A and B are shown apart, each in its own frame.
Chain A
Amino acid sequence: ETGVTQSPTHLIKTRGQQVTLRCSSQSGHNTVSWYQQALGQGPQFIFQYYREEENGRGNFPPRFSGLQFPNYSSELNVNALELDDSALYLCASSFPGDNEQFFGPGTRLTVL
């Protein structure tokens, strides 16, 4: 059984650019959630994907979008990057329902 993996580990972009972050879910998990964690804060829920469809969204603008693929891996896309988008982006996989989530190590995004 493999754990949740994320790529890349670190990324530096400039304002206005676009970024794609990737996540491979733990074997058998069909639900993936994405979180943004600013420095010194708790993770903030961005959205969740279940069976390739968005299944819940937090308070993030439309320039945050995602995809889930048939193998349950997922992408987070952010367009028109802003300085405040600098954060640790975490992905977590789980079974649907109220089970624990398994987190990846995160992608540290810096926007200059």
Chain B
Amino acid sequence: SQQGEEDPQALSIQEGENATMNCSYKTSINNLQWYRQNSGRGLVHLILIRSNEREKHSGRLRVTLDTSKKSSSLLITASRAADTASYFCATVLVLNNNNDMRFGAGTRLTVKP
């Protein structure tokens, strides 16, 4: 399956600590994206990393991609209580303009004030 699988399923940390979430997948991809979701609402795009990239940064977010291991990680530095949410990785394979995006089950992050 192309679908990503996140690890851990749940993570609880103190404000100010770093949070690391991992994603593994099984097939070739064009890119991998990370999304955030608050309490069953719509998903918000965080960052996209292409298959020929190894690392990307956006503010307090750092994403790595290892295509040889078919894995990615999302690091949130200096976490805040407002970072509490579910985080999903999504693998994308493009075929005939079809943006086939498959999500994992997500990591539930709780940041305690």
Residues on A facing B (Cβ under 8 Å):
4, 31, 33, 35, 37, 39-45, 48, 50, 55-56, 88, 90, 92, 94, 96-106, 108
Instruction: Check if A45 sits within 8 Å of B102, measured CB to CB.
Output: yes
Q: Is B81 an interface residue (CB 8 A)?
A: no
Instruction: Check if B101 sits within 8 Å of A41, measured CB to CB.
Output: no
Complex Cα–Cα for A40 and B106 (A): 8
**CB-nearest residue of chain A relative to B88?**
A42
Instruction: Check if B98 sits within 8 Å of A55, measured CB to CB.
Output: yes
Which of B14-22, B42-50, B59-67 makes up part of the contact surface? B42-50
Instruction: Check if B42 sits within 8 Å of A105, measured CB to CB.
Output: yes
Q: How many A-B residue pairs have CB under 8 A?
A: 74
12 contacting pairs across A/B (C-beta < 8 A): A33-B101, A35-B103, A42-B103, A48-B99, A50-B97, A55-B96, A92-B43, A98-B30, A99-B99, A102-B45, A106-B40, A108-B40
Residues of B within 8 A of A104 (CB): 42
Instruction: Check if B40 sits within 8 Å of A43, measured CB to CB.
Output: no
Chain B, interface size category, equals 20 to 34
Residues of B within 8 A of A97 (CB): 94, 97, 99
Instruction: Check if A44 sits within 8 Å of B48, measured CB to CB.
Output: no
Contact of A96 among B50, B99, B101 (CB under 8 A): B99
* A44 and B98 contact, Cβ closer than 8 Å, known pairs A88-B40, A90-B42, A100-B33: no
**CB-nearest residue of chain B relative to A51?**
B97
Residues of B within 8 A of A106 (CB): 40-42
> 6 smallest A-B Cβ distances: which pairs?
A42-B103, A56-B98, A103-B42, A96-B97, A103-B43, A100-B45
